[in-house]
Amino acid sequence: MFNICFRMTGNRSDAEDVLQDAFIGAFKNLHQLKEDVQFGGWLRRIVINECIRYSKKSFYWNEWEEVHHEHRTEDGEEWWHQIDMAMVHHQIKTLPDGCRQVFNLYVVEDFSHRQIAENLGISEGTSKSQYFRAKQLLKERITKHIQING
C-alpha cells in the first residue's frame, strides 16, 4: 500500500501521511466492508482514493494539449535493453504531478481513462493527454540519458 502512495505522491513523507490517513479512514469504515468483498481490494481502493483526495488538495492540474501523433524510435527493441530501471523510476517520480499520477494510475494500477477522469475530477481527454505527455517526456528523458551515458 505504501508503494501506491509513494508512486502517487512522489514523496516519501507525503506517502506516509496519506497512507496513515487511509488506514484511519479504513478503520473508521470497517463496518461498511461487505462479506463478499476482498479486504485487500477494499483497502487498496481506500488508499487510492486518499491519494487522489490528497492530490486534489495539493496540486494544480494543467490541461495539456492533446497530441495525436506518437513518435517511434528507429532502433526499436535495442533501445529497451539499454534502460536502467532505477533511472526509469527516477524519471517517473520527476514527471509533472498530473502526468505522474495519470501515468501511475493507468500503467501501474490498471485504471481506464474513464476511471482516472472520474476519480481525479478531470475529463477523459485530459487523462489521455496527460498520459501521452508522460510517455513523451519519459521517452525524451530516457533517450537523452542513454545517448549521454551509453
Residue range 50-61, pLDDT digits in tens:
887 777 655 433
User: What is the Cα–Cα distance from 135 to 92, expressed in whole angstroms?
Assistant: 9
For residue 53, the enclosing domain spans: 1-58
pLDDT at 57: 59
- Do 81 and 127 belong to one domain? yes
Q: Are 101 and 8 in contact (CB under 8 A)?
A: yes
| For range 15-19, the mean pLDDT | 89
**CATH number of the domain that 30 lies in?**
1.10.1740.10
- Do 79 and 150 belong to one domain? yes
- Do 80 and 33 belong to one domain? no
- Do 123 and 71 belong to one domain? yes
Task: Report the share of the chain in percent with pLDDT over 90.
Answer: 17
Count of domains observed in the chain: 2
- Do 86 and 148 belong to one domain? yes
**CATH number of the domain that 81 lies in?**
1.10.10.10
- Do 69 and 83 belong to one domain? yes
User: What is the Cα–Cα distance from 16 to 120, expressed in whole angstroms?
Assistant: 20
Tell whether the model's pLDDT for residue 65 goes beyond 70. Answer: no
Of residues 135 and 85, more confidence is placed in: 135
What is the chain's alpha carbon radius of gyration, rounded to the nearest angstrom? 17
- Do 78 and 48 belong to one domain? no
pLDDT at 56: 62
DSSP state of 63: P
